[in-house]
Amino acid sequence: MDNPVAPLVAAAAGGDGSAWNALVDRFAALVWSIPRDFGLSAADAADVSQTTWLRLAENLTRIREPERVGAWLATTARNESLRSLRRARRQTPVDPASTSFARDSGRPVDSELLEAERDAALWRAFESLSSPCKVLLRALMADPTPSYAEVSTMLGMPVGSIGPSRNRCLDRLRRRSEFARPQPPSARPAERRAVG
């Protein structure tokens, strides 16, 4: 790898502007992709990205594993994205006159609830993955999708190991999301009987 990450973090912490710019160039796509994956608008994603970089600037001298600064940035961007979503929910005004209780045509009443449960199970499974898997999958979900060469530079992984690592991470996610998926109500009493 051309620029090992740990020396860049140390140099940036010492005030080296070119090292800071190298960190931003290396991880900007990753940091930007995370709020967009959460469905935030471009403006909100820009706010999350800016806050994430600010947090890094504030904590450069305290990062315990500077070689894993990519994972640190991904976690910070995720937390800032969740904070932004919570803030938006609290601040969204609702006009009672515009609220309609009419049922969508053709959609089952519980379809939104089932989708929300499925999404929650998938995110729980994603959060249970190892940090390297989460960082890799988030990097590969960036918009626009980065090339393997770009991911290799961002994460310090050999290009040849990205595809196999991605497949292993997706297999783990698939298994964990199937295990975490809410069971239909008919399966729950049998489960209780078997335990009790």
Closest CA to 65 of 21, 128, 15, 131: 131
pLDDT of residue 116: 73
Tell me the DSSP string of 48-85.
HHHHHHHHHHHHGGG-S-GGGHHHHHHHHHHHHHHHHH
Sign of CA dihedral 68, 70, 76, 81: negative
Residues of the chain with pLDDT under 50: 1-2, 101-103, 185-196
Q: Which residues, at least 6 apart from 121, have a Cβ–Cβ distance to it below 8 Å? A: 177, 180, 181, 182
Q: Which domain holds residue 74?
A: 1-88
35 in a structural domain: yes
The last residue of one of the domains, among 73, 88, 103, is 88
Number of domains in the chain: 2
Three-class secondary structure of residue 173 per DSSP:
helix
Q: Is the pTM of this model over 0.75?
A: no
